[in-house]
Amino acid sequence: MNPLRTTGLSVQRWTKVSRAFTGGAGLLVVVLAFFPMFMSANVVQKLTALFILIMIASMWNALAGYGGLVSVGQQAYIGIGAYGTVWFAHHGVPPYPAMFLAIILAGAISVVFSFLLLRLTGGQFSIATWVVAAAFTVIVSLDKGLGAGTGISLIELNQYGPEHRQDYTYWFALGATAVLLIVLFVLLRSRMGSSLQAIRDDEQAAASVGVRVMAGKRVLYIFAAVGFGAAGAMTLANTLFIQPNSIFSVQWTAFAIFMVLVGGLGTFEGPVLGAILLFLIQDWFADLGVWYLIGLGVVAILFALLLPRGLWGTIEERFGLQLMPVGYRVRGLGRSPGADSGPLEEADATEAAAQT
Amino acid sequence: MSKESATPVLSARDIHKHFGALAVLDGVDFSVGADEAVGIVGPNGAGKTTLLNVLAGSLEPNGGSVWFHDQQINGTSATQRSRLGIGRAFRIPRPFGDMTVFENVFVSASSGGGLRGSRCYERCLEVLDLCGLTPLANRRAESLGLLHRKRLELARALATDPVVVLLDEIGGGLTDEEATELVLTIKQLRAQGVAIVWIEHIVHVLLQVVDRLVCMNAGRVIVDGDPDSVLRDEAVIDAYLGSGVV
C-alpha cells in the first residue's frame, strides 16, 4: 500500500456550522441559568419538566439508538432516583444532596442489574428490564416507610420557600441535563462511541474486530441509569409527591420511545427535538384527556410511516447537517468540499464512479 | 497426508466439535504458517466454517486445542483473538449498517488494531485504499452492494492489523471480474506478509492465491498438500470435485 495515494484526504469531525451551534448551545445553557431571575414560577416549573423530558429522551436514545439496548424498564431508575431521594432525606440528608446521592444509588443498583440483564439480548433483554421495574414497584409498594402504595411527599423541601425551591430545582435539572448531554457527547465522540454503534449494528461482528462488547454495553447501561435516576429525582422535586404506580410506570418508556422515534433514533440532536415536541403537545393538549393520548398515538404512527428516521434523522439524511457531530467524515474525495458531508444522491454518484 | 508448515502462526490440534449428536468436526488438525496462504475446500457440511469459527474464537471446541504461535488460546473470546492478530471476514457480510464505510473500518483499527489518533486515521485510509473503498468512505454501509460489502468485510479484518486473516467464501456471489479484483487485493495482502486462510468454493479463484490446499469432508481433513496434488487426489475427487471435472 502506498501512503502517497492516501495523501490529500483528511478526517473531519467538526464543521463550521457544528462549531457555531455547539458554542451557541453552551451559551443557551448560560442564558437559561438566568431564567429564574426574570421568568414566572410557572415558566420555571414548565422548563424544569422539559429538562426532565430531555434527560429521559437522550438517555433512552443512548441506550437504544447508540447501544441497541431497547429497554422498556428504565422507569426502574426513575423510581429509584425519586424514592432514593425520599429515603436519604428521611435519614437526615438535606434534600438536594439527597437527590445527588439517589442518582449515585441508581447508578450503583444498575451495576448489579447489568450483570443479570446484559447477558440477555433483543426482546429478552427488553422484557427483563420491565420485570425489574415491576419488581421495584412491588418492593416500594410494600414498604410503609416509603409510604407504601399511597405515595409519599418530600416534606423536607418545605425548609425552603416555594419560590426558592422551584429555582433550586430548576438549576439542578438544568445542570444535570447539561452534564448528562456533555458526558454523552464526549462518550459518543470517543472511540467507545463508535464501538457502541458497532455493537448495536452487529454484536458478533463487533467482537470479531476486537470490540469489548460487554464492557461497552455496561458503561452505557450504567450511564443511562444515572441519567434516569436524575430524571426521577427531578420529577420528585418538581411535583413534590410520588406514588409507586406512577413513578415506576411503563408510561415513562412510552414517552421516551415517542420522543426518540419522532426526534430521530440514533441521532444526538433528535431526542432533544422530540422532547420539545412532546412538551409542547403536553402543554397544549393535555387537557383533552383521552384524545390527547390518541393524538400522541396518531402522531407516532404517522412518523413511523412517513418519516421513519424521525425529524432530525430526516434532516440529517437530506441535508447532511450535523449540529453535534459524533461521527467521522473523510474530506478530499475529489468532489466539492460541501459534497463530502452531502446528501445521499451525491454519494450514489460516487459509487457509480467507483464501479466504472 | 498432512504437511506441517515450518512456523505455524495459527494451528488447531485434534479439534472436535459437535452440535447435539451431530459431530461437525471430528479430530481436525490444521495449521497455517506465517508466510502462507492456505485454501480450504470441501462439500457443504464438511465443517469448514465451523473450523473457522473455532479458530476465530466464535465457537469453543468440545475437544482439542487452538494455538497462536506457541500460546494455547482455548477459551479466549473472539475479541481477544482479534486483538492478538487473528482477523476474520464473514461469509455473509456483516457490516455495521448504520455507520459509514470509514467508521466501520475505524472501529476495527481502534479496537482490534489498538491504534490512536492520526495513526488510526492513516491506517483506515490505507486499508480503504487497498480495498478500493476510498470513494465510498462516507457512504452508509447498509447502502452498499454485495461486492463492496465483501470488500468492507475484508477491509475491516485488515484494519485490525492482523497476523493472519480467516476468509469465508468472500468470492461467493461475485462475477468473475469482481472476484478477480478481490484476488488482486488479497495478493497484495500476502505481499505484506499477512498469513491467509481462505474457504472458497470457486476453486480457480482460490488457486490464484493459495500455496497449500486442505480438503475437508464430514468433519475431517481428508487431504492437505500442494494444490495440484490435492486436486488430483482420488479422495478429493470422490468427496468434492466429482470425476467429470479432472
Out of B102, B107, B126, name the one closest to residue A198 (CB). B107
Q: Is B57 in contact with B231 (CB distance < 8 Å)? A: no
A200 touching B, CB under 8 A?
A: yes
Out of A210, A213, A341, name the one closest to residue B83 (CB). A210
Q: Is residue A290 part of a domain?
A: no
Q: What is the 3-state secondary structure (H, E, C) of A45-94?
A: HHHHHHHHHHHHHHHHHHHHHHHCCCCCCCHHHHHHHHHHHHHHHHCCCC
Q: By percentage, how much of chain B surpasses pLDDT 70?
A: 96
Q: Which pTM does this prediction carry?
A: 0.87
At residue B2, the pLDDT reads 44
Q: Is residue A293 part of a domain?
A: no
Mean of the pLDDT values across residues B148-152? 92
At residue A139, the pLDDT reads 92
Reading phi first (left if > 0) and then psi (alpha if -120 to 50, else beta), residue A70 is in: beta
Strands B220-225 and B212-217: antiparallel
Q: Is residue A64 part of a domain?
A: yes
Domains (range + CATH), chain B: 1-77+196-246 (3.40.50.300)
Range of the domain at A98: 35-249
Cell numbers that stand for B84 in this block: 492478538
Pick the more confident residue, B76 or A316.
B76
At residue B19, the pLDDT reads 92
Partners of residue B159 in chain A, C-beta under 8 Å? 209
pLDDT of B43 > 80? The answer is: yes
A202 touching B, CB under 8 A?
A: yes
Q: Is residue A169 part of a domain?
A: yes
A141 touching B, CB under 8 A?
A: no
Out of B94, B110, B144, name the one closest to residue A202 (CB). B94
Q: Is residue A333 part of a domain?
A: no
Q: Is residue A214 part of a domain?
A: yes
At residue B180, the pLDDT reads 86
The helix/strand/coil state of A38 is: helix
Q: How far is A195 from chain B (nearest CA, A)?
A: 6
A194 touching B, CB under 8 A?
A: yes
Count of the separate structural domains present in chain A? 1
Per-residue pLDDT of chain A (356 residues; tens, 9 = 90+): 334 444 688 888 888 888 899 899 999 999 999 988 888 888 999 999 999 999 999 999 999 999 999 999 999 999 999 999 999 999 989 999 999 999 999 999 999 999 999 999 889 999 999 999 999 999 988 888 878 878 888 888 888 887 788 899 999 999 999 999 999 999 999 999 999 999 999 999 999 999 999 999 999 999 999 999 999 999 999 888 898 989 999 999 999 999 999 999 989 999 999 999 999 998 888 788 888 888 888 888 999 899 888 999 898 888 878 788 888 988 888 654 433 444 333 344 444 444 43
Out of B99, B137, B188, name the one closest to residue A198 (CB). B99
At residue A87, the pLDDT reads 94
Q: What is the 3-state secondary structure (H, E, C) of B135-202?
A: HHCCCEHHHCCHHHHHHHHHHHHHHCCCCEEEEECCCCCCCHHHHHHHHHHHHHHHHCCCEEEEECCC
Mean of the pLDDT values across residues B27-39? 92
B192 touching A, CB under 8 A?
A: yes
Q: Is residue A322 part of a domain?
A: no
Least confident of A228-237, A249-258, B138-147, B181-190: B181-190
Q: Is residue A107 part of a domain?
A: yes
